[in-house]
Amino acid sequence: MVSTQTLIFGLVIGSYIGLAAIGFSLIHGLVNMFNIAHGEYMTIGAYLSFVLMNQLGLGLFVSLVLGIAATSIAGLAIAKFFYQPLYETGPIPLLLTSIGLSFLLRNVIQLGFGADNKYLEGGLTGVYRTDALGGFFLQYSQALVIALALLTILLLHLLLTRTELGIAMRATSNNETLAQITGVATIRIRDYVWLLASGTAGLSGILLAQQRTLTPALGYNDILIILTAAILGGAGNVYGAVAAGFFLGIVSATATSMLPSGMASLATSVIFFMLIVALIVKSHVIEGNRGVIAT
Partner 1 sequence: MIGDRLKLLSNPGIFGSAALLAGIALLASRLLLYPPGNAFVFIEVGILFLFYGLLVLGLNLQYGFTGIINFGHVLFFGVGGYATAMLVAPESARGIALGLPWPIGLAGAIIAAALVAGIVGFASLPLREEYVAIATLAAAELFTDVTANLPSITGGAIGYVSIPQPINIWAGGHYGTFLTSTLLVMIGVLSFGYVVFRRLTDGPYGRVLRAIRADKEITDTIGKHVFRYEMEVFVFAAIVAAIAGSIYALFIGAAAPGLYTADVTFLLWIGMLVGGAGNHRGVLAGLGIVMAFELLTRFLNDLPYYTSQQFGALRLAMIGLLLIVIVRYRPEGIWGNAKEQGIE
Partner 2 sequence: MDTTMKRRQYLKGTSIVALTGAAGCVGSEGNNTTTSTTTDGSGGTTGTTSTSTQSAPDNVVFGGLAAFSGTFAPYWPANHQAIMTAIDEVNAAGGPKGATLKLEERDTGGKVQQARQVIPQLVNNDNAQMLMGGTSTTIPALFDRFAEVQTALINPWAGTTFLNDKPADNGTPNDISDDGWVWRTTASDTLPAVGAAVHLKEEGMNRVGLMHLDTPGARSWVEGFEESFEKIGGTITNTVPFAPDKSSYQAELSRLFEADFDAWVLAPGGTGQAVPVVKDWLSAGYGKQLMMSNSSRTTDFASAVGSEGDGILGCGATLKGPNYEAFLQKYKQQGDEELHAFATGFYDAVNLGALALHAADEFSSVGIEKNLGPVGRNNEGDTVVTTFAEGKEALDNGESINYEGASTPCNFDKFGEVVTDIGVFEMQGDTWTQVKTLESNELQEAA
Q: Contact residues for partner 1 (CB under 8 A)?
A: 34, 82, 85-86, 91-93, 95-97, 99-108, 110-111, 115, 224, 227-228, 231, 263, 265-266, 268-269, 272-273, 275-276, 279-280, 283, 286-287
- Name the DSSP letter for residue 214: B
Helix (H) or strand (E) holding 128: strand 127-130
227: partner contacted, choices partner 2, partner 1, none (Cβ within 5-8 A by kind): partner 1
- Residues belonging to the chain: 295
Cα–Cα distance, 288 to 290 (Å, whole number): 7
Provide the angle, in degrees to the nearest 10, between the axes of the packed helices 38-50 and 4-30.
110
127: partner contacted, choices partner 2, partner 1, none (Cβ within 5-8 A by kind): partner 2
Please answer whether residues 249 and 232 qualify as being in contact, where contact means their C-beta atoms are separated by less than 8 angstroms: no
Query: Any contact of residue 12 with partner 2 (CB under 8 A)?
Result: yes
Question: Which residue, among 7, 15, 17, has the nearest Cα to 219 in the 3D structure?
Answer: 17
Query: Any contact of residue 6 with partner 2 (CB under 8 A)?
Result: yes
Please answer whether residues 247 and 39 qualify as being in contact, where contact means their C-beta atoms are separated by less than 8 angstroms: no
Q: Which is nearer to partner 2, 121 or 154 (CB)?
A: 121
Binding mask 256-285 for partner 2 (x = CB under 8 A): xx---xx-xx-xx-----------------
Tell me the residue type at 161: T
213: partner contacted, choices partner 2, partner 1, none (Cβ within 5-8 A by kind): partner 2
Cα–Cα distance, 237 to 227 (Å, whole number): 13
Q: Kindly state the smallest distance separating residue 195's Cβ from partner 2, in Å.
A: 25
Query: Any contact of residue 55 with partner 2 (CB under 8 A)?
Result: no
Cα–Cα distance, 117 to 135 (Å, whole number): 35
Show Cβ contacts of residue 156 under 8 Å, excluding neighbours closer than 6 positions. 22, 196, 238
Burial class (CB in 10 A: 0-12, 13-18, 19+), 170: buried
Q: Which is nearer to partner 2, 118 or 282 (CB)?
A: 118
92: partner contacted, choices partner 2, partner 1, none (Cβ within 5-8 A by kind): partner 1
Query: Any contact of residue 224 with partner 2 (CB under 8 A)?
Result: no
Q: Which is nearer to partner 1, 97 or 186 (CB)?
A: 97
Q: Kindly state the smallest distance separating residue 265's Cβ from partner 1, in Å.
A: 5
Cα–Cα distance, 158 to 147 (Å, whole number): 16
Residues that bind partner 2 (CB under 8 A): 5-6, 9-10, 12-13, 16-17, 115-117, 119, 125, 127, 129, 137, 139, 141-142, 208, 211-213, 215, 217-218, 221-222, 252-253, 256-257, 261-262, 264-265, 267-268
